[in-house]
Amino acid sequence: MFRAVVLNNEGVQRLEHGRFNDAVDSFTKVLQILSPIISDTRARHISPSAANGPAPCAPSASSTSLTSREQQQQHYQEPSHSEHQIQNHQQEPLQESEDTKLSSDANKASDSSSPYYSRSGAMEAASTTENDQFVFRDPIEIPFDVIPSMEEPSEKLIKKVVVVAMYNLALSVHLIALSSHNVIDLTRAERLYQLAFQMHLEESCDVTLLYSLALMNNLGLIYRAKGDTEQSKACFENMLSTMMYLLESDEARTIKQWDGLLSNVMDSIFKVQEVAAPAA
């Protein structure tokens, strides 16, 4: 367990320095270490009904306004995943790309609701795409002082680390796709984000709502880039619901990426209105 946390945080440092392929290597090793530990438990708890579930961000029929963190989860449906899928994504070759040197100065923004934190500000210099769309580029680091016993970690703690590493891996592949303009890598990033999102929901991992926002934001941008308008719209609509909850609970001020996330949501809403206007 200790080795997995060390590798995750090593991958975070590599990602912040633009060494995307090296970061992929670190996060893949984390999953290789931990996935055998959770495989039996996961197989026992995955619901057969999830096998044909819709993709992440698809709103559920029972979605209502947000009043709590538990209600926030009702806005999502879960696609299928398995331990076999995790292994497949670990072994997929990645499109090589030039490493881009980024600023290594990081402001560690700890969220009060979770011991995990994103390295907010570390990737700020390159947080937008060519079309000025905000890409959430901050990886998640795991502080050693929040892990009470690495020799005998709880099942819940192991799953949290897996969820964090899966997100970090997806982010690394996403950044490779952006730097190489490679559609294959973009599709791999999409699948990894989907898997991370589903694991987050199925395991009820309390990694913070910022984690959900990051996943929905980046997935929404990938769907938009691939022309999947409906899925992209669903992601940004769910983001809006989550952000409204954060505003009401006065947690928005703790999120340094707020303006970028909001700009994507507003851009999506305005585009929908522009399309609907002629019909009106």
DSSP labels for 137-170?
Answer: ---EE--GGG-S-SSS--HHHHHHHHHHHHHHHH
Q: Give the residue, 142 or 22, on which the prediction is more confident.
A: 22
Residue 184: is its pLDDT beyond 60?
yes
Of 222 and 204, the one with more pLDDT: 222
Task: Band the pLDDT of 158: cuts 50, 70, 90.
Answer: confident
Domain that holds residue 82: 2-42+53-61+70-276
Which pLDDT band, with edges at 50, 70 and 90, does 207 fall under? Answer: low
* Coil, strand or helix at 270: helix
Q: Which residue has the higher pLDDT, 85 or 160?
A: 160
- Span 226-239, pLDDT tens digits: 999 899 999 999 99
Dihedral angle computed from the Cα positions of residues 90, 159, 118 and 193, in that order, rounded to the nearest 10 degrees: 40
Name the percent of the chain in helix, strand, coil, to the closest 5. 60, 5, 35
Q: What is the mean pLDDT of the segment spanning 64-81? A: 35
48 located within any domain: no
Task: Please indicate, yes or no, if residue 136 is contained in any of the structural domains.
Answer: yes
Look up the pTM and report it.
0.70
Check residue 73 and give its pLDDT. Answer: 38
- Tell which wins on pLDDT, 203 or 122: 203
pLDDT at 98 over 50: no
Is residue 29 in a domain?
A: yes
Q: Is residue 47 part of a domain?
A: no
* Rounded-to-integer distance, Cα 118 and Cα 12, Å: 9
pLDDT value at 269 more than 80: no
Strand order in the sheet with 109-110: 109-110, 117-118, 140-141
The whole-number pLDDT of residue 124 equals: 44
Residue 44 has pLDDT above 50, yes or no: no
Domain count, the chain: 1
25 inside domain: yes
What is the structure's pLDDT at 110? Answer: 35
Model confidence at 172, pLDDT cuts 50, 70, 90, reads very high
252 compared with 220, residue with greater pLDDT: 220
